Each structure stands twice: as C-alpha cells, then as structure tokens.
Amino acid sequence: MQVTARVRIEGPDDLAEHYTPGVAEQAKRVAEDPSVLARETVQANSVAIVSDGSALLGLGDQGPAAALPVMEGKAALLKRFADVDAWPICPVSREPDDLVRTVKDLATSFGAINLEDIAAPRCFTVERRLQDELDVPVFHDDQHGTAVAVLAALRNALKLTGREPADTSVVISGAGAAGSSVARLLLGADFRAERVVVCDSGGVLHEGRDLTAEKRWLAEHTNRGGAAQGSLQDALCNADVFIGVSAGGLLDGADIARMADRAIVFGLANPDPEVDPEAAAEHAEIVATGRSDLPNQINNVLVFPGMFRGLLDSGAARVTTRMLLSAAQALADTVGDDFDREHIVPSVFAEGLVPALAEGVAAAAKDY
C-alpha cells in the first residue's frame, strides 16, 4: 500500500499551490462551506475499512494485527476494480462504544465506512449505531456483501430451474452476520416468510426457542407458523434451496438427496463447504461455493467494489434495502443471456460489472 498524489509537485509554484499558502485558502473554504470537503479533497473517494479481527475470514478471532494484511488486500481490490482509495483501520478495543467512538472520530476523512470481520452480535450493534450517528454510508460487507451476492446468484439459479421466489422454500445454515442478512434480504425480495427457514448449531430457529436478540428477530420473521422443527437435516427435507454460511462438513450427499427435485445448493463456507460439492452435484441441479477453484464462486468481491463506487458517486448518506436489491439485480443481469448451471454469477473481471452495480446503487440512492 502507498499514497500517491494526483498532482505534480515539481517546483516552488507547485509547492505554494498544493502546500502553504495554498492549502490555507482551501481550509477557509471548507470552514465556510463543508460541502467543499466532499467535492475537492480525498474524502470524496475514500473508504475506511474497519476491523477488530474478531471474525477473520474462516480463521475466527485472530486479533487486530492479523486483520491488517486482510484489510490491505481488500483495499487493493477496491482500488483495482473501482478506483476507490481505501484505508485499513484495525482498532485494539472491541467494546461497541469504543469502536463506534473510534469510527466517529475518524469519519471526517472518509466518504464511506466498510465494517469487516467483526464478530456477531457485536457487529450488528456497531453497524446500527454508526448508521444512526454518521452522515456517510456504513456497509458491513460480511452481512450485506454476502447477501447481495447470494440473492443475485439465486435469482439466476431460479430462472434455470423454473422457480419463482414466492414459491421457493429456502433453508439457511448460519444465523450470524451473513445468515441474518441473507434472510432479511430474501424477505425483501419476495421470498415468503413461511418458506424461509434459518438454522444455527442448535437446529431450526423458531419462536419456542430461547434466543438472543438477532436470532429472536429471525425466529419471528422466518419459518412463520413454525412448520419447520428439529435439525438442519430435518429442515432440508423437500427444500428447494440450501444456503450455507456457517461451517464446513455439516452435510453429506444423502442430506441433499432429501431435497426437492432440481435442488439448488450454495455451500459457501471456506475453505471447506458445508457439503462436498461433488457429492452435492449428484443430487442437486445447481451447486455453488465460495471457492475460486470451482464453478459458481459466490464471493463478496463481486459486490463491494461496485457498491462503494455507487455510494461515493451518488453522495448517499446511508445504505438502504432498495440499494442492496438494486445491486443484486445488476449483478444477476451482468451474467447475460448465455448463463448456465455452472455460470450463475459473472467473473469479478467481467467487463461492465462494477459500472453496472455502481449505476444500480446510485439510481436507488436517488429514490431514497
């Protein structure tokens, strides 16, 4: 990572313009009109990537120092794909009050905030408070980037298998940051509450269980009527779709065989999916993973570059469900008309992917 100026500083005149006394005039202008900051400084194209390292990739709690190279990698991708300048910030304190205060203290320098690899349920508290207390958009990629990528892939998978969202039964394994956000976005995309079931390590979420706040919300808004009970395996019986955002090795081919005909299986745990892809493919019509060495890689990198490009370009103050739905539709459409069971999402290198998402997000921002 490095900082490179966009202007040349080759002699005394350049120094006077871009340092003293020139910057004093800019400071006065900002003091008189704060909107100058977004138009004419680095803030207009800058994102803070904030992580405490408590839920790092598939490694778990590795701490803030270990998070730094991961956040640098994400910053590199934002620059490569969307020309967004991003800065890794890895606070030591994990208390929600401290994390919120740290981000708020630094927010003047940034046009958007990307929360990353912060463990649930703390991530929900931090995100919601920052959304309420900042005037720049806050995007928790583990939640919303995953949900957008999953919804886009699912839209195309449903087309290939002749299904409509309202008639599709979905079982989600994982009730943390990703699973919760996937469920919420599906409910906003015409999937019916009684046909969406969320499972955690204790089995199906339902209102009869003693649950934490986020899981309690899921129990109240999914599995309406409590028709699904028991284990993850029980919930999969005759289900159309399985979405795994939990842990590897939870299922085997026999579990997939119990699903509906032409089933759709997204085993997104990394590096080991919830079910072996080859075993799943013996019984499912479409199989996707989070791995780059297999077909249908569903990964957040498909989403966050275009998402932040759109947020920054539109000057949006917050991330809305409408923006997420618009981004998912743009991502799904980028595949084109020639998609098939092994190509339900585009490559991250696909021409037009980032502009399409950015335009979709910006259009939705105008409606907010």
Specify whether 204 is located in the same domain as 331.
yes
CATH code for position 222: 3.40.50.720
Which percentage of the chain shows pLDDT scores above 70?
99
Residue range(s) defining the domain that contains residue 91: 34-136
What is the 3-class SS of the chain, one letter each residue? CCCCCCCCCCCHHHHHHHCCCHHHHHHHHHHHCCHHHHHHCHHHHEEEEECCCCCECCCECCHHHHHHHHHHHHHHHHHHHHCCEEEEECCCCCCHHHHHHHHHHHHHHCCEEEECCCCCCHHHHHHHHHHHHCCCCEEEHHHHHHHHHHHHHHHHHHHHHCCCHHHCCEEEECCCHHHHHHHHHHHCCCCCHHHEEEEECCEECCCCCCCCHHHHHHHHHCCCCCCCCCCHHHHHCCCCEEEECCCCCCCCHHHHHCCCCCEEEEECCCCCCCCCHHHHHCCEEEEEECCCCCCCECCHHHCHHHHHHHHHHHCCCCCCHHHHHHHHHHHHHHCCCCCCCCCCCCCCCCCCHHHHHHHHHHHHHHCC
Residue finishing a domain among 136, 153, 175: 136
- Residues marked as catalytic: 19, 74
- pLDDT confidence of residue 210: 86
- pLDDT confidence of residue 79: 95
Residue finishing a domain among 72, 102, 136: 136
Instruction: Count structural domains, the chain.
Output: 2
Specify whether 182 is located in the same domain as 123.
no
Specify whether 189 is located in the same domain as 327.
yes
Task: Kindly report, residue by residue over 203-243, the tens digit of the pLDDT.
Answer: 999 988 888 888 999 999 999 888 889 999 999 999 999 99
Task: Kindly report, residue by residue over 66-108, the tens digit of the pLDDT.
Answer: 999 999 999 999 999 999 999 999 999 999 999 999 999 999 9
Specify whether 215 is located in the same domain as 362.
yes
